[in-house]
Structures are given as C-alpha cells and as structure tokens.
Amino acid sequence: MINENTNISPWILLNNQVIDGEGNIKDLSKDKEAARSYFLNEVNKKTRFFHSLEEKIEYLTENEYIEKEFLEKYSMEEIKQVFEYAYAKKFRFPTYMGAFKFYNDYALKSKDHAEILERYEDRLSFIALYHADGNIEKAMELIKRLIAQDFTPATPTLLNTAKKHRGEFVSCFLLEINDSLNDIARGSEFAMQLSKIGGGVSLHLSNLRAKGETIKGHPNAAKGVVGVAKLLDNAFRYADQMGQRQGAGAAYLNIFHADIEDFIYTKKLNADDDIRLKTLSLGVVIPDKFLELAKEDKDMYLFYPKTVYDEYKIPFGDLAIHIDKYYDEMVENPRIRKKKANPRKLLEMIAQVQGESGYPYIMYADNVNNSNPLNRDVKFSNLCTEILQPSVVSTYADYDKRDLDEIGQDISCNLASGHMANMMNNKSIKETVFAAMDIMNSVSEKTNLSYIPSIAKGNNLMRSVGFGIMGHHGYIAEKKIYFGSKEDLELIDVFFNIVNYWSLVHSMNKAKETGLKFDKFEESDYASGKYFENRGEILPNTEKVKELFEGIYIPTDEDWKNLKEDVMKYGLYNSNRLAVAPNGSSGYVMSATPSITPIKQLIEERTYGNSKSYFPAPALDKSLHYYTTAYEMNKYKIIDVIATAQKHVDQGISFELCITSDLTTRDLQRFYLYAHYQGIKTLYYTRTQKLKVTECEACSI
C-alpha cells in the first residue's frame, strides 16, 4: 500500500486502494476509478489533438511516424470507414492495468515521448489496414474483431505494425547448432543479431560434442555443452536490446547427452560462478526411453555425440529423438563412448533444480512427435515451450567458402491469441480464428530475416503460425464453473475442437486460393487423411455448457468429412496453426487471465518504477468463490485441462507448474509422470510461491 500523502499520481492511489495494508481485498471498484482517472488526467492531457483524421494521418506520415505506402492502397473514405467503426464502439479499458500497459508501452509517442500520438482505436485501425493490404472488406473484418477484443496479435505485431521506424513483427526464434566451431560461431552471431532486434532465441545444443571428446583426433579437447551455453549466456546479456532489457535466450539438450548432468547443474543456486548460467533459460528433451528406464529402475547410458556421429553419420540431436530405435545397439557398440547414470536420480535432480530455480523446462519428445501430423522431427522448443515445429540443422563452412554452406531450416514464431470470454460471448469463434489467421499470415509474408538464412528459409517453406487462447479462467469463473470440473473439461473440449476446425478451414482455403502448400505436405498425415481419423463433431452434454454454446455453430461430422476431402485435395497453406502462449503482457491489454491456465494471484501485483500496480482477476467481485490460484489448486486437475486442449492443438501449450514450498521432489516427479501419461507435450517453468520468475522476456514489454 502507498501512503496517500506521498507525491503519487491519483490513479496509482486509487488502484492501490483495491487492497488493504495486509494485502486483503478492500474495494475492487477502485480499479475502474483508477482506469478513468488515468485516462482523464494522463492520457487525455498528453494526447496530441487533431481536427480531423486527414490531419492526423498527414502529420503521422509526413513526420515519419507511420508508413505511407499501405495507406495509399485505400481511398480516404475507406480509411475513414475503418477508423469510424473503431471509434463508434466507444471502447473503454475495464482495468487500470490494461489502460496503463497499452498507453505506456504500445501507443505511438512523439520522438521526445512528451505526446501520445495515437489512441487504442488508432493502433487497431492501423493494424487492420496494414495487414488487410488494400482489401477494405478484410480490413473491416479485422477491425471488428480487434476492437471487440476477440483476439490480439502478439506483442511485436501489436507494437510495430504500420510504424515507419519499427522493430520486427516476430519476437521468437529457434535455431539448431551443429557440431563445429563455425556452426557455434554462426549460431552465437545469429542469436545476438536476433536479440538486438528484441527477439528471444532458443537454441538446440544436442549435436555438440561432450566435454572431453576428441577434436581432430586430439583426446579430451572438447569443452562441452556448458562452455557453449556460458558463451550464449554472456552473448544475450551483451546484446541487450539497447539497454532497455536483457536479451532472452534458452538452450535445449537431450537427456541422453553425456553432458546432461553438468548442463542441469548450471542452474543450481550453489553452482560455481564459472559455470552458472545467470540469464540463459534451460530445457531438457526427454524421450520415453528415459522414463521407461526410470520406471524399471535400470541404469541408463549417456552418449558422447562425436562418437555417435562417427558411427552413424547422423547428428546426435536427430538420432536421440529416436533413441528407442538405436539405444540397445549403441549400448553394445564398443566404438560409441558412453557412461552410466541412474535415471531416477537424474529425474530427482531435475525436480530439485526446478524447485530452486524454476528450470529446466521439459519437452516430452515422444508425446510431441507421436502426435505430430507433419511426420518430421521436432527436436526442441522455444522460450515459452509452446512452439513445436520441425527443423533441419545447418552446417557452415569457413568464411572464404560460403558457397559450401548447407542452409537448413529454422523457426520463427508468428503468433496471435484469442480472448475466450469475448469469443464465446460475441459468438464469434469462426470470425476470430479467420481474422487472427489473416494477420498471422500477413506477418509471415511480410517478415524478412534474410540475414538469418535458415530462419528465412523455414518461414518461406512452412508459413507456420500459432493461434492461442487467453482468458479461460476468467471466463469460467464469471460463468460459475470451477477450474478442472466436468463442465470445464467439456467446455475446453468443444471450444478447442471448433477452433481447430476453423483454423484448418482457413489454411485449406488459403492453399486453394493461392495454390501454395507448405513444404512436404504430401508426406504429412493431412495429405493421407490420417490426421482426421477420430476427429469430428464434439457436442456439449451438460446443461450449463449447452447454454454457453447457444448461437455458436458446432461443426458436424459431415463438416469434418468434407474438410478432410478438401484438405487432401487442396492442401494446407500453413504447416502449423495452433500454439497457446503464456500471454502475460498482452493479457493485461486484453484485461484477461493469461493463457488457459489458472491465475496465480486473485489480485496480481506488478511493480513499475517506484510504485506498485494491481490487476484484479476478471469479475472477481461476483465470482470470488470460483477462483482458486494455481498454487492452491489440485495439480492433476490442471494437467487434465491442459491435456484436453492439447488433443486439438497441433503445437504446444505453455504450461507452468505452480507449487507450494511444502511439496517434495517426489511430488514434483509424480506431476511430471502424470503430465506425460496424459499426453502433455511440454512443461514451462516450475514456480514456487517464494520464487518469482518474470514472464517470457521475448514476449513482454
């Protein structure tokens, strides 16, 4: 709480009256008062006034705040049509945090930051016009869904679209590194270049030779994975986005790599400073073979990648994804160097380090690849663990032999997120999915990262996007449904089945319209029709959920049958369509609970400058009884909700385990195993109430 006699803005004082001095709920109405006060006393006073839209656009374009070119594709009457629709809706931020987050971090400002040059309606109108690319009908569909807050583009798209001097529309990238000094150097260089533009970068290190392996026949010469991870840790702190925030990076390693124990140990709180990774996030790739050995309490073998490559001529990261196929043969092969480890102790080590630091992330490799319709290997994930796409490692020659470079295929994340409550209340699931897909496809088409050739190649060939959902917990609480209840699981199942259907329809229509299919479509389960087996109409059964879907079209078995035939005939434009991000920063702007996971606090506390701000959960005054935080909630019920959605999501769902300090590492391991059993693909951070880990830095401002 803030002393009211201090020199603090009135809206901060009002917002701080939401709770009392002991942190208990005091007066939730004060948050709306704070939003109004902030708008009247800060936003209105700092916003530059224009007599007309023509004057505003002329000023913004002539002074190089907004691009001219995309506006020249429309008549002024068409531009007015979009802006007038947005303003006619008289949108008001329902929370102080939503208003503050947008106008402080997203809204266009004068070069000296003294004036606000656009309102929320202006930002959304520019986004609609820019990504509709001259099509006024499409622009109108986009502004309808944007101003209704049915969805939002990802942070970099919301922030940068239409601006003359801007960053990229994409902020999340995945790179594989191969096993040579050239490959490591280029990977580090690319990571720094992407970090410089605000990107968060995940790197796959499983191909690297382990500590003590040979280099050009010299034994014990290799420094191992930890040395490269330390190099990357320093690189991200150096390329820190002009001092505004640290760079954000993650490194993934397969659990059968000989350096896995050293890799995990780098996140222990008492790790030696020479090896401790201060900012680099860690992820562990876990094939089923590891869990099988742990279950049977058998020793496992960790392998030295250089000797594996020498024997099979396959990069270790590619082979280790299929470890079950090679494991026994490699154990018996005397030419492959290996060492023993106890899988149960290794699993306990993961749980212990997660309890201390929140790391490592976990990717269940077989859950990912057994359900992957592309039939191409997914070997690692991103900073927030929801991106699961195939990649092909690059090999780089010496600088004077660049024509010998073998450019593989890396990944960029083109994202948007729907607001579940608004999509349901506005009966607009189909329209929202179509609008979000239009913007994400536009982002993919307009993204030019030619200086990272493997990412440019992957984007051009795959055109992958990731539509996600936020606001789930807020919506069910408002509708008097408990998280993880029978009604909740039913709602999730029906809702995500509909979202999946319309994303497929949109991608098929785009392929039909353009004649373009994603690379190697013919090898996928979409082309064979296998993907559509056991997919079809899912109807609500309980009366409460039936009521929620009244007026919403639910695709029938016949619809799914026709879609299968169309996809097999015309293909899909996008290799991937759905991915549920954590939605921290954008969730505030949307006044929504993050992702599809439960809230962590009834009233979330954030610190900005020298003051605290509070974000009450939606409809908290009416639905307090239906909110339980992720720390207090039954973890198995949370996993069940995520698993129900995961059946319909082709990529992943960013999912944090939130635990209380009284839970043991044994408890945590049970959650790992249950999540795997239920088909969960990835686990993001593990948080305890004493541990505060900031949201994915790549997606936040």
Distance CA 263, CA 252 (A): 9
Query: In this structure, are strands 248-254 and 415-419 parallel, antiparallel, or unpaired?
Result: unpaired
Exactly one of 42, 121, 386, 431 is catalytic; name it.
Answer: 386
The dihedral sign for the CA sequence 646, 389, 441, 685: positive
Residue type, 129: L
Do residues 164 and 64 touch, judged by C-beta distance below 8 A? yes
Exactly one of 15, 121, 384, 478 is catalytic; name it.
Answer: 384
Residue 119: which region, alpha, beta or left (left: phi > 0; alpha: psi -120 to 50)? beta
* Cα pseudo-dihedral 487, 489, 490, 496, rounded to 10: 140
Token pair, residue 41, equals 């006393």
Distance CA 386, CA 597 (A): 13
Exactly one of 382, 497, 500, 576 is catalytic; name it.
Answer: 382
Distance CA 284, CA 299 (A): 19
Active site residue 384: yes
Do residues 661 and 632 touch, judged by C-beta distance below 8 A? no
Do residues 124 and 63 touch, judged by C-beta distance below 8 A? no
Distance CA 598, CA 656 (A): 10
State the DSSP code for 454: H
The dihedral sign for the CA sequence 62, 64, 70, 71: negative
Token pair, residue 665, equals 């590492």
Place of tokens 């392929």: 511
Q: Which of 508, 488, 500, 486 is nearest to 555 (CA)?
A: 500
Alpha-carbon distance values, 293 to 11, 330, 366, 458 (Å): 58, 15, 15, 35
Place of tokens 């208990």: 24
Distance CA 263, CA 456 (A): 30
Alpha-carbon distance values, 341 to 292, 313, 481 (Å): 14, 25, 46
Q: Which of 326, 172, 350, 187 is nearest to 255 (CA)?
A: 350
Sequence-ordered strand ranges (E) for 357-465: 361-364, 411-412, 415-419
Q: Which of 389, 338, 341 is nearest to 363 (CA)?
A: 389
Give CA angle at 553 (549, 556), nearest 5°: 115
Alpha helices in 63-103 (DSSP H): 76-88, 96-101
Q: Which of 306, 225, 212, 216 is nearest to 264 (CA)?
A: 225
Q: Which of 421, 335, 444, 484 is nearest to 148 (CA)?
A: 421
Quick one: angle between helices 120-132 and 429-446, nearest 10? 70
Active site residue 382: yes
How many alpha carbons lie under 13 Å from residue 156 in its C-beta half-sphere? 23
Distance CA 178, CA 201 (A): 16
How many alpha carbons lie under 13 Å from residue 516 in its C-beta half-sphere? 14
* Cα 508 versus chain centre, distance: 24
CB neighbour list of residue 337: distance below 8 Å, 6 or more residues apart: 213, 258, 303, 304, 307
Enumerate the active-site residues: 382, 384, 386
